[in-house]
Copies of this chain bind each other. A is one copy, B any other.
């Protein structure tokens, strides 16, 4: 699975966790069937989101719930949660350049700053997109999801 797809799947899952009513247990099987992936992979993602403090996952006949308010969960949080590799690795620099060559010797330091700028731009953009915003967008697109009592509310 590509890093990006992990991220969009996690968003998908979080939307379901956030929007489904309290009496609907959001299990990994339910999530898997909607996301279109296998339950183990979903659980791996859930596990990552849990470690990041974004959700709580109850064992036994439990289901997952948000641990923070949707406005306090950004795409950046989700991205970092489900993908251990940092942005630095995503837009990385080849590490096998010859140190004997004046070009090879300097290429890392040369690119480090510009690449850090790009990473920062990505970070800012992702951090500006909250789960709250995505829920609002979803409400516009599919109001029926929210036309039921006891929709999960946090914070």
Contact = CB atoms under 8 A, between A and B. Distances in A.
Interface of A: 1-2, 4-5, 7-9, 11-12, 15-16, 19, 33-37, 75, 89-94, 96-98, 101-107, 109-111, 113-114, 117-118, 121-122, 124-126, 129, 133-134, 137-138, 141-142, 144-145, 154-155
Copy total for this chain: 2
Given A93-B4, A111-B8, A134-B110, A104 B141 contact: no
Contacts of A34: 97-98, 101, 103-104
Contacts of A137: 110, 113
A99 to B, nearest CB: 9
Nearest to A13: B103
